[in-house]
Amino acid sequence: MSETRTEMQDKIATRENVPEQNSSAFTPRKLTGRKVIYSQASEITKENVVDVINKAYRIHQSNRSDIDYLWNYYLGDQPILNRVKVVRPEVNEKVVVNRAAEITSFFLGYVWGEPLQYVAKTNEEAVSAAMDDLNDYMDVRNRSSLDSETGKWQLVCGTAYKLALPSEIGDDEAPFDVCIPDPRNSFVVYDNTVRHRPLAGVVYTKDVDTKIITFAVYTNGMYYEITDNKVVKTKPLYLPGIPLVEYPLNVERMGAFEVVIGLLDAINLTESDRLNGIDQFIQSLAIAVNCQFPEGTTASQIRQAGLIVLKSVGENKADFKVISEQLNQADTQTVVDDMMTAVREIVGMPSQGNAKTGDSSNNGAVILRNGWQAAEARAKSYETMFRKSEMNFLRIILAYCNLSIARKDIQIKFTRRQYEDIYTKAQVLNLLLGNELVHPKVAYTVSNMFSDVEDAYKMGIQWKEKLEKAVAEVQKQSKVTVDDPNQGGGNT
C-alpha cells in the first residue's frame, strides 16, 4: 500500500522541521554608526541639567553598547567564538582572523604615525614665537601619544573625545592638561538647531560598590556634578567653549572596519570550516553494511582497534567503508581572496602580501593599481574631520595659554611621511624657491617633503643667514687683501 501524503511529509527533511545543519549559531549585529545626541533645550542651566542629561544618557546607552561590541571585536572577541555546530559538534574549529586589528593598525600608523604640527600661516615674528611655545606645550603633554590614542578610538568606534583641563598646581611646564576619556563613558549633547552647537560635554563614572553613577557635566560657562539625580556641585568655567570636544571619524561616526564587519565574519567562518574539513578528513566516519560484529562490541571499541574483521550474514556481502571526502582548498582560498579584496577596496587599504599586489614602489601606475592612492584619499578624509575637531579643541587650549596667537593664524598639519616620488618633490621645491613671487615657506609646504614644515623652514633660514654671513666675511677679507697686500699675512 502506498504511503499517504502526510506520512511522506513526515519522512522528508525540510528547513521547517529540521534544525539548520550548518548553522553557525550567531546573528550578525546591525551596525550603522553612532547616534548623535540632540536636545531641545537651547541652554543648560541648573534647573534643567538633570532632565537633559538623563534623556541624553538613554541615547548614549545604545551607542555605548555598539562601542563596547566594536572594541571587543577589535581585541579579537568575535562572533565565530560563539559558534555552535549541530552535526558532529566535536569537530568545531573556531578561528579568528583578526582583520579588524589589521585595518585599525594600518590607518593608525599611516595617519597618526607622526605627531601633528601647528604651523603659522603668517611670517610675523610674534606669531612664529607663539607657535613655537604652543608646539612646546603640546610636546610636554606628549601630543603624539594623545593623538594616537584618539585616532585608535576613532578607527575602532567611529568617535573619540579630548578633554582639556587646567594644569595641576605646581606644574608650570604647560598651563593645561589633556585627557582622552573612554567614549563608552563620555558623550556630547548638541542643540537641535541647524547649527548643532554643543550644549554639554559629559564624562561619567560608576562606583564599584554602590553602582551609583556620577556625571561630570561641562557646559558653556558652568560645571555641574550630578549624583543620584541631584546636582551636588557647581562651579563657573571661564572658557570660550566646552572643554570636552568630540572627534568623529566621519559624519556617520562609523569605525574603519565597521562597514565590512559582515565580510570579516564570513572570512572567520570560511577559515574555521577549512580546518573543520581537515579535522573531519582525519576523523572520517565509517559505514558498516551487512556486517556482524562480536556480541557486545561497541563503536568506540571498533574505533580503537583500528583493525576490522568482517563476517558476512547470509548471502549479503559484508562491506565496511570510510567516508573521506575533502574540501577543495584551492577553491576555498579563491573565495577568501575574493572577500579580502572586497574588504580592502571598501575600507581603502592597499593590497599587501606579495610582490605582485603589495608594493609601494615609486611608480605612479603601481601605486594606483595597488590601492595606495585610495588609502591616501581615505586618510585625507580622516584628516579633514580631525582638523575640524582640533580647531574646536584649540579654542579651549588657547584660553589656557597667554600667547599672542589666534586660531586663524594656525594651520594644523599632519606630518605623515611620504617618500614616494621624492625626486619630483625636490624638483618642485627647487623650482618654487627660484620663483621670486613665491614665499619660501609656501614652497616648503607645497613640496610636502618635510614632516615639520615650520622647523625645516626655520633651519633653512638660519642656514642661509649663516652662509651669507660667511660669504660676506670672505668677500670682506678678499677686499682688504686686494686694497692692501700687506694685510692678511703677505710677505713684507
CA–CA dist 30, 262 (Å, integer): 9
Are both 246 and 383 inside the same structural domain? Answer: yes
Residue 65 has a pLDDT of: 96
Are both 362 and 473 inside the same structural domain? Answer: no
6 within some domain: no
Q: Report helix, strand or coil for 17.
A: coil
CA 355 vs. chain centroid, Å, equals 26
Q: What cell does 328 get?
A: 577543495
7 within some domain: no
9 within some domain: no
Are both 343 and 312 inside the same structural domain? Answer: no
Residues of the chain with pLDDT under 70: 1-26, 170, 279, 281-327, 352-370, 416-421, 451, 480-492
Q: What cell does 354 get?
A: 606579495
Q: Give the CB-side neighbour count of residue 27, counting CA atoms within 13 A.
A: 2
Are both 168 and 247 inside the same structural domain? Answer: yes
249 within some domain: yes
Q: Report helix, strand or coil for 231.
A: strand
Residue 86 has a pLDDT of: 80
Residue 26 has a pLDDT of: 62
Are both 199 and 290 inside the same structural domain? Answer: no
Q: Report helix, strand or coil for 172.
A: coil
Q: Report helix, strand or coil for 15.
A: coil
Q: Which residue type occupies 79?
A: P
Residue 402 has a pLDDT of: 86
CA–CA dist 242, 197 (Å, integer): 10
Are both 366 and 385 inside the same structural domain? Answer: yes
11 within some domain: no
492 within some domain: no
Are both 159 and 294 inside the same structural domain? Answer: no
Residue 125 has a pLDDT of: 83
Q: Which domain holds residue 158?
A: 28-279+329-418
> Smallest Cα–Cα separation from 201: which of 396, 19, 335, 426?
396
Are both 273 and 290 inside the same structural domain? Answer: no
Domain boundary among 261, 296, 322: 322
- Per-residue model confidence as pLDDT tens digits over 146-162: 999 999 999 999 999 99
Pairing of strands 37-39, 410-413: unpaired
Q: Specify the number of domains making up the chain.
A: 3
- Per-residue model confidence as pLDDT tens digits over 353-394: 554 444 444 455 555 556 788 888 899 999 999 999 999 999
93 within some domain: yes
Are both 47 and 130 inside the same structural domain? Answer: yes
CA–CA dist 411, 118 (Å, integer): 6
183 within some domain: yes
> Smallest Cα–Cα separation from 163: which of 74, 249, 242, 277?
242
Are both 366 and 426 inside the same structural domain? Answer: no
Are both 454 and 318 inside the same structural domain? Answer: no
Are both 429 and 353 inside the same structural domain? Answer: no
Q: What cell does 16 get?
A: 521547517
